[in-house]
Structure 1
Amino acid sequence: MNTPSASFTQLLPGMVGMALVGSSVTVSHTLVGAPLFTTQAVRYAAATVILLVIARLTGARLLRPRGREWLWLAGIAVTGLVLFNVAVVRGVAHAEPAVIAVAVACVPVVLGVAGPFLERRRPSRQVLWAAPVVMAGAVLVEGTGRTDAVGVAWAMLALGCEAAFTLFAVPVLRRHSPWGVSVHAIWLAAVMLAALGAMREGPSALGELTGLQWAAVGYLALLVTAVAFVLWYSTVRAAGSGRAGLLTGIAPLAAAAVGTVTGSGTPSPSVWLGIAVLILGLIGGLRPRDVPAEEVTGPACSATTAPPPTSARRRRSTPVRR
């Protein structure tokens, strides 16, 4: 399989998607006290309707999943949408938010190794060199914090779920397109969260939402879910999950920029250093290059291909609820 190219045009959708995710920190913060499962169920249900309407207007074709495709799509919903939110909420009860954010910052490394494995090719040396740089920059931007053993476990789960959100989409993106993967993963998550909400929070949970929280749900449903998901998966399909993974570094950059604009304070020297490191990593990992012949493999993976590691829309340093 040929290594996907990574022209700026192909990377742009993912860059915009990650910027939307990172810039939603203030909006996400308004939902801290809202019933988790019910609120997210409404968000994903609304996003499903929005995507169906847009797909109808644009002529995007949506296919019915078949066979194992249901497992991959359900995997995205369970891990990347449902469990990720649970891991973040439960994790911050045992660890400072920065700890969860630092774990999620490791995603470029995981995607740089595991993504090409699923795409049946060798990892890109360029991405493997750049991923730790992007990760280090994100850690500097996010900061660090205290935790206990349980907090570490939740942080590792958040990392696995964040990576799974992209990796589980790889086998179904070609047939279902970014539109189909987004629609099916989102409606499946909406059903799961609605069931959890009914059992854990009760049918009266919707009445607890304030007007501001309803507005936040609408914003997240439209921009951080419906729009950002399609943009992200468009780049994953065009450029490959490894290169796309580097773009996750844009989220903390956007979060830091929004924090400065909204008056949360001027970034500290360590944050400025992290921003510089992040930008260097992104430039180094995403610059156009010729693909060496030895990096391209056939339909079967090379025996030397690194196996995927065992596991992988907030205030700054808090992972945004997807």
Structure 2
Amino acid sequence: MNWQASPSAPRRPLRVAPPAHERQGLALGLLGVAIFALTLPMTRLAVGTPAAPQMSGLFIAMGRAAVAGLLSLALLRATRAPLPRRGDWLPLAATALGVVFGFPLLTSIAMRHVEAVHASVIVGLLPLATAAVGAVLHRQRPSAGFWACAAIGAALVVAFALLRSGTQGLAIGPADLLLLAAMLCAAMGYGFGGQLSQRMRADAVICWALAFSLPLTVPLAWAGRPAVAVPAAAWLAFGYLAVFSMWLGFFAWYRALALGGTVRVSQVQLVQPVLSMLFAIALLGESPDAATMGFGLAVIATVFIGKRMPVHAAH
């Protein structure tokens, strides 16, 4: 008996599971996003409001980088990490410009004038910007389905942020422009940092970027130090920003970009604004509602579908 299938019989496409390193990259990316999700609410606590100012934006941004830089020096010495190669210095400078100076400074200044929920309207577009930078740097060509999922996810995030922001909407003010510039800085820092993580340890990437920045971050932090007593809650928020947002979070994030690819892993960031809003509810006293859970589940579903869309290497 001939058991061979008929040539005319349709063949079912095989479903190939993502490689183990890609799954690990997505898991680490989610860990990094969870750490970063507290950044905006913690910055709001540390910087205060126009009516009740706490620390200056300059001190929060440069102070957290200075603390993380000193921790980085200790870790680099303890692990006897080799100096970066000559060809890595320029990407390290671009990484530092984006995530050590640009994003922290711009967001710290902006967050005194807008709530964390409103800030997510702009920062919610970060996955698309990161994917675009990653596609250029890593010569990747995402499929149309991948970009469609990314766009839908970003639209969901923006729609939810608009719903939570009430009457503020998308009126472009100075703080919004600062947040937009911060988002672009973060995308650049993520892209170049992810590229470096392909040939350096992920922790070494952020540690060297922070260590090289110390000659600037330390004196700038000292210049912006608080002149009056600051509540303990603001110092605790500053401590989180220094140790987790500026340091440990990047250990997981850059390793995730190296394992799973910048274009694909960047889409995990779509969950970050939703998590930030949930944290803002707990820390800033906002009331939860059904829309929070509904949009959160919708965004997570979009990420789940989008990470299965093909991403090809450009020829």
Give the structure-2-normalised TM-score. Answer: 0.77
Note the alpha carbon deviations across 1:253-291, whole angstroms, 9 max, x for none. 32233344458344334433321321121111124x6x5
Q: Note closer, same or farther for the CA distance 1:137–1:155 as it changes in structure 2 (3 Å cut).
A: same
For the 8 Å contact 1:47–1:226, the answer to whether it is kept is yes
Q: Which among 164, 177, 199 is matched to residue 201 of structure 2?
A: 177
Q: Structure 2 vs 1, CA of residues 153 and 13 (structure 1 numbering), >3 Å: closer, same or farther?
A: same
Contact 2:66 2:217 in 1 (8 A): no
**1:138-182 alpha-carbon deviations (Å, 9 max, x no partner):** 223323535345455323312211211211223322222211111
In the alignment, is residue 30 of structure 1 matched against residue 45 of structure 2? yes
CA distance in 1, matches of 2:151, 2:182: 18
SS of the aligned residue for 1:62 comes to coil
Aligned counterparts of 1:228 and 1:179: Cα–Cα separation in 2? 10
One-letter identity of the residue aligned with 1:278:
V
- What code does the residue aligned with 2:45 have? T
Corresponding residue for 2:92? 73
Shift of 1:113: 2.8
What fraction of aligned residue pairs are identical, expressed as a percent? 20
Partner of 2:107: 88
2:268 corresponds, among 221, 244, 247, to 247
Give the Å deviation of 1:229: 0.6
In structure 2, do the counterparts of structure 1 residues 115 and 25 end up closer, same or farther at CA, with 3 Å as the change threshold?
A: closer
Q: Which residue is equivalent to 2:14? A: none
Task: Name which one, 1 or 2, has greater alpha-carbon Rg.
Answer: 2
User: 1:136 and 1:231, CA in 2 relative to 1: closer, same or farther beyond 3 A?
Assistant: same
Distance 2:115 2:234 in 1: 24
> Gaps spanning 5+ residues in structure 2: where?
1-17, 48-53
For 1:240, the aligned partner's letter is G
In structure 1, the residue matched to 2:133 is 114
1:129 alignment counterpart: 148
- Is 1:296 matched up with 2:313? yes
User: Relative to structure 1, is the Cα distance of residues 127 and 177 closer, same or farther in structure 2, using a 3 angstrom cutoff?
Assistant: farther
The residue type paired with residue 134 of structure 1 is G
Between 243-252 and 123-132, report the one with greater CA deviation: 123-132
- Highest relative contact order (Cα 8 Å, sep 6+), 1 or 2? 1
Corresponding residue of 1:166:
190
Q: 2:220 aligns with which of 183, 196, 200?
A: 196
State whether structure 2 residue 34 is matched by structure 1 residue 11: no
Aligned to 1:273: 294
C-alpha separation in 2, matches of 1:181 and 1:8:
22
Contact in 1 for aligned 2:25/2:258 (Cα 8 Å)? no
Please tell me whether the aligned partners of residues 24 and 256 of structure 2 are also in contact (alpha carbons under 8 angstroms): no
Sort the Cα spacing of 1:234 and 1:85 in 2 relative to 1 into closer, same or farther, 3 A: same
Taking the aligned partners of 1:120 and 1:279, their CA distance within structure 2 comes to: 27
Alpha-carbon separation, structure 1, partners of 2:153 and 2:114: 23
In the TM superposition, what is the alpha-carbon distance from 1:49 to its structure 2 partner? Answer: 3.7
Residue matched to 2:180:
156
Mapped to 2, the partners of 1:259 and 1:153 lie a distance apart of: 22
8 Å CA contact 1:113–1:123 kept in 2: the answer is: no
Q: CA offset at residue 55 of structure 1? A: 5.9
After TM superposition, the score normalised by the length of structure 1 is 0.75
Question: Contact 1:140/1:271 (CA < 8 Å) preserved in 2?
Answer: no
* Structure 2 partner of 1:42: 63
Give the 3 Å change call, closer, same or farther, for CA 4–72 of structure 1 in structure 2.
farther
- Partner Cα separation in structure 2 for residue 92 and residue 39 of structure 1: 11
Q: 1:157 to 1:178 in 2, by over 3 A?
A: same
Distance in 1, Cα, partners of 2:189 & 2:112: 23
Which sections of structure 1, spanning at least 5 residues, go unmatched? 303-322
CA deviation profile, 1:280-308 (whole Å, cap 9, x unmatched): 21111124x6x58xx334xxxx4xxxxxx
How many residues align structurally?
287
Amino acid at match of 1:178: A
Kindly report the root-mean-square deviation, in angstroms, between the aligned alpha carbons of the 2 structures: 3.2
Q: Distance in 1 between matches of 2:178 and 2:246?
A: 23
Partners in 2 of 1:127 and 1:53 — Cα distance? 41
